Structure 1
Amino acid sequence: MADENRVILGQFGAAHGIRGEVKLNAYTEDPLGVADYGPVTLDDGRVVEIVAVRMQGDGIVARVGGIGDRTGAETLRNRRFSVDRSVLPPIEEEDDFYYADLVGLRAERADGSPFGTIVAVQNFGAGDLIEILPAPGARSFYLPFTRAVVPLVDIAEGRLVVEPPPEIEAREDDGAAAGEDEA
């Protein structure tokens, strides 16, 4: 899904029950609104439609058209899904953006010095993370995508400002660049 015209809306999880429902992690502002955008394209190329969503405890459970049993629901497990950017509402506020817009931005410190490039935005269940590649050939690493760590996102200028947590700063001060292995 490297197509810049596509925006990832979420990811399916495990099957839920025996009637084809599946757990879902929505990346939309309103998690229950994830079904409002029409058919979605899975990262394996299949096109499906989320026909219903509901809250189940702290999570979301979805019903997908054409999926009527647990076996079918299992084929969706861990599949990310996206839509064409054109079906999403236009961004009207200067400070608003889609996470897909962050990929490729320069990460800089407040003084303008380079920190790396954003290669992905992830959420493994404990909050949003930005994945940063400090330099070509180096190992990427994650930082929390919070206002404290990322106080400024400037899509128009192609950059965001990063204020790394103290443990990342300490590691760099010890001579190990963020993301490198220590011997």
Structure 2
Amino acid sequence: MELVIGRVAKSHGVRGELVVEVRTDEPEERFVSGGTLRGRLPRSGTVRDFTVESVREHSGRLLVSLTGVADRTAADALRGLLFVIDSADLPPSEDPDEFYDHELEGLQVQLTDGTVVGSVREVLHSAAGELLAVRAAEDGREILVPFVTAIVPTVSLADRVIVLDPPEGLLDPE
């Protein structure tokens, strides 16, 4: 399974730098000068490898220069490019309370009494922390659940279940 670790938002300047939105907790390990990144072009789905020339932080994103991308036109052609890795290449987490997004997606979400709420559609990363986007079993609406121990006391990858103990009103339709 491919996991997205970054997305090219746009070009930056005239020398081919790319503005990359980071989608990994370890950008310093993934985006390294001299390293290779696998990129999937959004329109064609074509996958190709890119060599990183340089990386620097800029306004919460990365500015990345790639070998062979020397001007704004070449950089603009890569807009929307997804940098991906294979989930099989990820080491297992050493912390039992840390999970990769793909491990949580698709898990059944239920209350402490066993009532099924729905399933995790995706994990969202915001400035305020992680949120589980849960598709409600009852009506298909999306429920955003803060991924904190007080609300999500149990995650069982083996049983493919997440248990919620939500505060009053969190699951109510708006």
Range class of TM-score, shorter chain: 0.7 to 0.9
Correspondence 1:47 to 2:68? no
The equivalent of 1:174 in structure 2 is none
What do residues 59-110 of structure 1 show as CA deviations (whole Å, max 9, x unaligned)?
A: 3211233322222222333443321123322334433321111111011123
Matched residue of 1:168: which SS?
Answer: coil
Question: Any gaps of 5 or more consecutive residues in structure 1?
Answer: 172-177
Aligned to 2:21: 25
Q: Secondary structure at the residue paired with 1:133?
A: strand
SS in 1 for 2:31: helix
Distance 1:86 1:138, change over 3 A: closer
Paired AA for residue 7 in structure 2: Q
The answer to whether structure 1 residue 9 and structure 2 residue 5 are counterparts is yes
Q: Percent identity?
A: 30
Aligned-residue RMSD, C-alpha: 2.8
Partners of 2:2 and 2:50 lie apart in 1 by: 16
- Partner in structure 2 of residue 66 of structure 1: 68
Q: TM-score, normalised by structure 2?
A: 0.76
Q: Which residue, 152, 156, 159 being the options, matches 2:161?
A: 159
CA shift in 2, pair 1:104/1:13, >3 Å: same
Whether the 8 Å CA contact 2:39–2:83 is kept in 1: the answer is yes
**TM-score, normalization: structure 1?**
0.73
Letter in 2 for 1:49: F
Which consecutive residues of structure 2, in runs of 5 or more, have no partner in the other structure? none
Deviations 1:115-142 (A, max 9, x none): 1101112346664332211127623343
How many residues are treated as equivalent by the alignment?
168
**Letter matched to residue 14 of structure 1:** K
Q: Quick one: which amino acid aligns to residue 63 of structure 2?
A: V
Distance 1:134 1:38, change over 3 A: same
Q: Which residue of 2 aligns with 1:143?
A: 145
Match of 1:108 in 2: 110
Cα gap change, 1:65 to 1:102, in 2 (>3 Å): farther
The question of whether the paired residues in 2 share the 8 Å contact of 1:25 and 1:59 is answered with yes
